[in-house]
Structure 1
Amino acid sequence: MSNKQQLLIVAALFLGLGLLWFLKQDPALNHLNTTLQADSELQSYPYQFRALKVENGVATLTTPRSPEVSVLQFLKIAQPKLDTSNPDSPTMIAAQKALSRIQEKAGKLAKAQEGITEVQWEIDRSWYASHGLIVE
């Protein structure tokens, strides 16, 4: 096989992969993630909410909140300077309320997008894994 033929085969493979990537893009998902990233309040929070999929009017967003992981574990990671020794302290209650408010805002932004009527939440296992905590 000549160098020219090899080059054409490699170019065709890259073109095919590029086309496959392009066809797999979901405009609604990309738009929702852009909307979430554009919000300054969401961006200033230590956890970044993101959309995983949009199907049949339901947006699935990541969340650090789950019965599998206590909010204290999340706050220890997200806000390491926060004293988590007393879960009933005013600062801990304020931190929990802030998380709730920010997550609610992410959900409202998602529902405000055309075609999205419901938000589903999915624990962000990859975020926790990147911080050394494996969530089953």
Structure 2
Amino acid sequence: MWWLLSGDSRVSELNAGLADDATISAYPYPFRVLSLENGVARVSSPRSAQMSAIQGLRILFPELVNASAISPEMMAAQEQLAAVQSRVGTVVGEHPDVARVQWVLDETWLARHGVYVQ
């Protein structure tokens, strides 16, 4: 029964909560909780200080490949990503064992799409 109290079951529970949220599950990027330790939930993200949101958005929305960073379409996509990521943070943060969410650039997802972070 000790495994029921492990971090893995809480991570699975958090990921199930993300999958159950209609807004989050409808978004093309698969946000997921990677770990939960000492109250810090590490959550994957297609953007970070290391990687412009625009690169990730061009993967998520191929129709934006040639869009300018300041085009209305790109701006709308950035706003949508920010809103969904905020929702992810809220859903994860509502868990009683989560004190803080730490966003982690999803380098594996990016690499699968031909983008490598140095």
**How has the CA–CA distance of structure 1 residues 85 and 91 changed in structure 2, closer, same or farther, with 3 Å as cutoff?**
closer
- Normalising by structure 1, we get a TM-score of 0.78
Gapped regions of structure 2 (runs ≥ 5): none
Corresponding residue of 1:127: 109
Corresponding residue of 1:54: 36
Structure 2 Cα separation of the partners of residues 35 and 78 of structure 1: 22
Gapped regions of structure 1 (runs ≥ 5): 1-20
- Normalising by structure 2, we get a TM-score of 0.89
1:1-136, aligned counterparts within 5 Å?
26-82=8-64, 84-136=66-118
Residues 57-100 of structure 1, C-alpha deviations (whole Å, 9 max, x = no match): 11000001112222221111110012543211221111101000
Aligned residues: 116
Q: How much identity, in percent, do the aligned residues show?
A: 39
* Structure showing greater Rg: 1
- AA of the residue aligned to 2:45: T
- AA of the residue aligned to 1:41: T
Corresponding residue of 1:13: none
